[in-house]
Structures are given as structure tokens and as C-alpha cells.
Amino acid sequence: MKNLFDIKDKVIVITGGCGILGKNIANYLAEQGAKIVILDRVEEAGRELEAELNRKSKALFLVTNVLNKEVLEENKKAILERFGTIDVLLNAAGGNMPGATIAPDKTVLDLDVDAFRKVVDLNLFGTVLPTMVFVDVMAKNKKGAIVNFCSESALRPLTRVVGYGSAKAAIGNYTRYMATELATKFSPELRVNAIVPGFLLTNQNRALLTNPDGSYTDRAKTIIAHTPCGRFAEPEELFGTIHYLISDASSFVTGALSVVDGGFDAFSI
């Protein structure tokens, strides 16, 4: 029987590939035989990751700016020169910043609008622009898979992270819109889905979830208390869902938000 999960030799582009999630996902997919393209703005870390991945499969690192279409177009040319095609796009670039987060002693009236705008730009337009640039290759092939990175904050408004939550909610809507747009205008085998991770400890949220001594903050304790699995997620717990969404195993799945949150969204009391 055909291996529905076979992704060997697929060319997979990962934006934000040097982040904790991007790097771990890239290593896993390289171990499955995929050809990996890492796009990130941090050149030193990117070169190190490229060398690491090339010991497992074939990899390419390119410096990028997910908010600059011209830079992304140059990235596309380099990818096609090296690998000849693009099969999968993982839009993992994103993040938050303090000004778009409301501190416990502040209110929405103290919100830094410029910081809010930057967070929306990075998360939303940092997904829209790479999709616009790279999807034409998949459209010509009449097949491809795009996975956007959503967030628990897109499903329910979380306190404090108003900018990040608003941007990720928009990505959820954009994912569903693009699923119909691409399938009806280009090919029904061109699919767009999103992964909705639960809470992980990353460099971006560590200050919110841990104290200087490494112990959990009250916010972290509340999250875990509302997570049936009783803990934070590990990056490798996203691998299976990503693998599924980019393989033929999910050939009839598009416009879906795949939640991997330890039961957080289902919790009730």
C-alpha cells in the first residue's frame, strides 16, 4: 500500500525557521527525507541550522524579511534555482512585543498602538506576503500544502496579549478564506490549513510564564490548571500534526484549524 505520510524529497519552505518551533520542525522533517528551505533574518543561526540539516537531508538557508515582497521574490528565485520547485510552505514567522501586551497594572487605554500595528504586521502580513509569493509555484504544479501558524489566542481572547491575539484570529480567518480561494481558482489539490498550538515555553513568552528563578508565574499556573493534560506542550508534540497536514494523508483536509493544545480549548468547570 502507498505510504500516505511519505514526504521524502518534498521541498518545504519554513519562514521563521530559526525560532524554537521552526528549528525543531525543520530537523524532524529533514529526518523524514524532505528538502528544507529555512527563511529567517538571523544569518548566523541560519547558517548553523543549514549545516545541521544538511547532515540529514538537503537544506538551504536564505536571509529574508517576511514583510518585504521583493526580498521574498529573490528568495523564491534562489529556491527554484536550487530545488526546482516548492511543495510546502510553513508560515512559522511571528511573535509578540511588550508594547502590544497589557501589563497587569495597565488597561487597554495604555496600549501602544504602534507596537500593536507591528505585531499585526509581523504575524498577519508576515503570513500573507510569503503566501502570495510562493503559492504561484504550487498553483503551476496544481498541488501543494500551506500550513499557517495560529494560536490558542485566536480561538478565545486571552488576557494581556491583545495585539497577538487579534493578529492570530485574523490568520484563522485568512486560512479558511485561502482554502476556498486556491481550491476553486487554481486546484482542489492546493490546500491551506493552520495548526493551533497550545502553550509552549518559548523565548517570546518566557517572561510571561516564568519568574527569574525559573518557577511558574501565576499566569502559567492558571494555564496549566485549565489544561486537561496538566502541562505545557513540547515542540515535538506538533510534529505529527504538521506531518499529517503536509502529506497525502490529509488530501481531503483544507480550511481546517488543527488544535494541539492538551485540551485547553475544551476545558470547562
Asked if 39 and 15 touch (Cβ cutoff 8 Å), the reply is: yes
Q: Does the residue 33 lie in any domain?
A: yes
Q: What pLDDT score was predicted for residue 137?
A: 98
Read off φ and ψ for residue 12, nearest 5 degrees: -115, 120
The helix/strand/coil state of 35 is strand
Residue 240 lies inside a defined structural domain of this protein: yes
Give the C-alpha separation, 49 to 51, whole Å: 5
Phi, psi (rounded to 5 degrees) for 172: -60, -45
Asked if residue 108 belongs to a domain, the reply is yes
What is the rounded distance in angstroms from the CA atom of residue 17 to the CA atom of residue 105?
35
The reported pTM is 0.95
What pLDDT is recorded for position 268?
83
> Which secondary-structure segment (H or E) carries 179?
helix 162-185
How many C-beta atoms lie closer than 10 Å to residue 117's C-beta?
13
Give domain status of residue 227, yes or no.
Answer: yes
Q: Mean pLDDT, 10 residues at a time, over the chain (269 residues)?
A: 92 96 97 98 97 98 98 98 98 89 87 93 97 98 98 88 93 98 98 96 79 90 94 95 98 98 91
Q: Could you give the CA distance from residue 196 to residue 5 in angstroms, rounded to a whole number? A: 20
Count the domains in the chain.
1
Whether the Cβ atoms of residue 66 and residue 148 lie closer than 8 Å to each other: no
Apex CA 152: angle with CA 182 and CA 247, to 5°?
40
Asked if the structure places residue 214 within a domain, the reply is: yes
Q: Tell me the helices (H) and strands (E) count for the chain, helix number first.
A: 10, 7
164 is catalytic: yes
The verdict on residue 248 lying in a domain is: yes
Tell me if 111 sits within 8 A of 165, measured CB to CB. no
What count of Cα atoms within 13 Å lies in the side-chain half-sphere of residue 187? 15
CA distance 263 to 250: 22
Pick the catalytic residue: 164, 177, 216, 244?
Answer: 164
The answer to whether the beta carbons of residues 137 and 222 sit under 8 Å apart is no
Q: Are 101 and 160 in contact (CB under 8 A)?
A: yes
Which structural domain, as residue segments, surrounds residue 163?
11-266
In a domain, 5, yes or no: no
Closest CA to 176 of 257, 100, 265, 114: 257
- At residue 209, the pLDDT reads 87
Q: Is residue 101 part of a domain?
A: yes
Locus of grid cell 485568512:
174
- Cα–Cα separations (whole angstroms), residue 205 to 90, 183, 188, 220: 21, 36, 37, 10
Residue in this structure with the C-alpha cell 510562493, named with its chain if needed: 134
Could you tell me how many residues make up the chain?
A: 269
CATH number of the domain within which 116 lies: 3.40.50.720
